[in-house]
Amino acid sequence: MTLEPVESDVPYHRLYINGEWCDAEGERTFEVTEPASGTLIARVASASTADVDRAVAAARDAFDNGPWPHTPHYERARIIHKIADLIEEHAFDIAELESRDGGVPIRKTTYNDIPLALHMMRVFGDLARRPPYEPMPWNDFPTLSWNFVWRDPFGVCAQIIPWNYAFPMAVWKLGPALATGNTIVFKPSSLAPLSAIRLVQLIDESGLLPRGTLNLVTGPGGEVGEYMVGHPQVDKIAFTGSTEVGRKIMAIAAPHIKKVTLELGGKSPSILLPDADLDKAIDGVLFGMFYHAGQLCEAGTRCFVPATLYDEVVERLVARTRQLRLGDPLELETDIGPLISFKQRERVESYIKLGREEGARLAIGGGRPVGELYERGPYLEPTIFTHVDNRWRIAQEEIFGPVLCVIRYEELGDAISMANDTMYGLAASVWSRDLQAAIEVARRIRSGTVGINEHHVLNPHAPFGGFKESGIGREMGVAGLLEYTEPKHIHVDFQQKRSGKIWWDALLPPENEHE
Ligand code: NAD
């Protein structure tokens, strides 16, 4: 356990290296505050590169010499389910911690994020039961042999996650890596690290993982994260964060030809077809956009509306947005909490200014809410821009805040072209009563996930990831699990006759030697 008072009564969280909780070199720490109020809620060890070296060495040793990579898959499955049991037991505490640390409304963390994370961990436990063996077709060319694919764990994985959706993100990094026998050096974001640290504490308390299998380092991304990524003893990088940092990571990984999976940014479309059920679509679009104040990678930030419905849809979106409750994330009735930081609010506000300059019409929001509560944290009104041109920067760049762009279209083909006309390709939703038409549109959208009559459709059985600059590789589902393995072809040769061996073509038998 790392919950100890240091100077004051806020908890202090250390690094977790080789099965021990330890201070960072020089006892460096950073502070974690609640976005909603600025209250200090924890101090966290701030790792140095020397600490990263120790964590990587522990993970390396655990991989090369420890039992975890060779632990039978059914035993790994049992352990992952035990970890899931611990999440279940502490679900309400974790939900509250996540709400305080990330400013996430407690209704979301209690009824969605933590239950979903628990479900994910259980699915990873089930998937871990999959033997690391894949049969291959019978082979008798050029000789008779039995062939199969064995899935080796990849090795030491450096895993880095962002501040938004922190707990589920931690689960979907650790779960598949552990399920397949890897060892890990894990780094949460400094802006909201507490729920991920809590997960490592629960795993530690369970005593189920061999020493060094899981290591936690906390600290600034540009220093600690970058050093982890470039470390020659790290075999695989699993990164979730911005496309900008993702590009850097790929470049750092290149000299060692490291395996990378990148889950990056998005600018996802919600496309309303002319026959959409507006009673559902209006709420669905707003859920897609304003869930966690728009701070979700797959947020539906561009809403494409047929010209015939445009005025009605805008009117209804605005009227419904007026009813959304902006407030304290710990209150059950809050729909939208604060942004993660004042810096993030400034960034979003700069886009709101840009939207006005580009010529968009501000239909609602755009400012800071007024009132004592709102002065304590970086609150921002849910904002809708109408008459947006898809080529403008507000429609092309990831804002990562509560700003919706409503874009008119004449023909469905134009909507699909515009939806695809972005460097991103993470998610989308299509709203229609005609499921066949909706599926046809879904198939033409260039993104990793498409929801029909729903947005934010995370499913631990389904691969999640991005086309184009939204990422490389997939997480979750069997595809996500396989990203943590190296396929190895094993060939068992049955040919006994020398003349039937493949070397016959190259090596004549020694003189006088016959079959
Ligand atoms: P970020 O890229 O700034 O940081 C993400 C993580 O990387 C943090 O832990 C940070 O400390 C670390 N980091 C920062 N610089 C680094 C560097 N040079 N080398 C290594 N690590 C570094 O992103 P953020 O602001 O924390 O999160 C928001 C972004 O994450 C958005 O762009 C969002 O779309 C994206 N995101 C993507 C997904 C997805 O699954 N595709 C999910 C959630 C968030």
Q: Are strands 133-135 and 145-153 parallel, antiparallel or unpaired?
A: antiparallel
Shared domain for 231 and 283, answered yes or no, is no
Shared domain for 285 and 207, answered yes or no, is no
Shared domain for 208 and 357, answered yes or no, is no
How far is 26 from 448, CA to CA, in rounded Å? Answer: 44
Shared domain for 358 and 431, answered yes or no, is yes
Residue 461 lies in a domain: no
User: How many other CB atoms are there within 10 angstroms of residue 221's CB atom?
Assistant: 20
C-beta of 245 in contact with ligand 1 (< 6 A): yes
Shared domain for 212 and 327, answered yes or no, is no
Shared domain for 113 and 193, answered yes or no, is yes
Ligand 1 pocket test target in 249, 264, 475 with most atoms within 8 Å of CB:
264
Q: What's the CA-to-centroid distance between 497 and ligand 1, angstroms? A: 58
- Of 287, 324, 332, the closest CA to residue 110 belongs to 332
State the total domains in the chain: 2
- CA distance from start to end of the chain: 68
Residue 20 lies in a domain: no
Half-sphere exposure of 312 (CA within 13 A, CB side): 12
**Annotated catalytic, 297?**
yes
Task: Indicate which residue of 157, 297, 303, 405 is catalytic.
Answer: 297
Q: Whose CA is nearest to atom 6 of ligand 1?
A: 162
C-beta of 384 in contact with ligand 1 (< 6 A): no
C-beta of 153 in contact with ligand 1 (< 6 A): no
- DSSP letter (8 states) at residue 326: B
Residue 297 lies in a domain: yes
C-beta of 473 in contact with ligand 1 (< 6 A): no
User: 413: domain CATH number?
Assistant: 3.40.309.10
How far is 493 from 130, CA to CA, in rounded Å? Answer: 26
| Sign of the torsion formed by the C-alpha atoms of 439, 441, 447 and 450 | negative
C-beta of 386 in contact with ligand 1 (< 6 A): no
- Of 465, 491, 490, the closest CA to residue 172 belongs to 465
Q: In what order do the strands lie in the sheet with 403-409?
A: 361-364, 383-386, 403-409, 300-306, 268-272, 427-431, 449-452
Q: What integer pLDDT is reported at residue 513 of this predicted model?
A: 64
Residue 6 lies in a domain: no
C-beta of 186 in contact with ligand 1 (< 6 A): no
User: 177: domain CATH number?
Assistant: 3.40.605.10
Residue 401 lies in a domain: yes
The amino acid that residue 238 corresponds to is A
Here the tokens at position 373 are 């509560």
Mean pLDDT by 10 residues, the chain (515 residues): 54 98 98 97 98 98 98 97 98 98 98 98 97 93 92 98 97 98 98 98 95 98 98 98 98 96 98 98 98 98 98 98 98 98 98 98 98 97 98 98 98 98 98 98 98 97 98 97 97 86 79 63
Q: Whose CA is nearest to atom 30 of ligand 1?
A: 241
Residue 45 lies in a domain: no
Residue 493 lies in a domain: no
**Annotated catalytic, 96?**
no
Shared domain for 78 and 169, answered yes or no, is yes
Shared domain for 472 and 409, answered yes or no, is no
Shared domain for 283 and 256, answered yes or no, is no
Ligand 1 pocket test target in 167, 224, 240, 345 with most atoms within 8 Å of CB:
240
Residue 417 CA to chain centroid, in angstroms?
A: 27
Shared domain for 248 and 281, answered yes or no, is no
Q: Whose CA is nearest to atom 26 of ligand 1?
A: 162
How far is 506 from 503, CA to CA, in rounded Å? Answer: 5
C-beta of 235 in contact with ligand 1 (< 6 A): no
> Structural domain of residue 111, as residue ranges?
53-264+468-488
Task: Indicate which residue of 34, 98, 226, 263 is catalytic.
Answer: 263
Shared domain for 59 and 198, answered yes or no, is yes
In angstroms, the Cα distances linking 243 to 123, 155, 354, 423 are: 28, 25, 21, 10
Shared domain for 275 and 385, answered yes or no, is yes
How far is 407 from 307, CA to CA, in rounded Å? Answer: 9
How far is 473 from 479, CA to CA, in rounded Å? Answer: 8
C-beta of 242 in contact with ligand 1 (< 6 A): yes
Q: What's the CA-to-centroid distance between 340 and ligand 1, angstroms? A: 13
Ligand 1 pocket test target in 163, 189, 403, 472 with most atoms within 8 Å of CB:
189
b/e burial code for range 263-290 (CB count within 10 A of at least 16 → b):
bbbbbbbbbbbeebebeebbebbbbbbb
Residue 506 lies in a domain: no
How far is 191 from 35, CA to CA, in rounded Å? Answer: 9
User: How many other CB atoms are there within 10 angstroms of residue 88's CB atom?
Assistant: 14
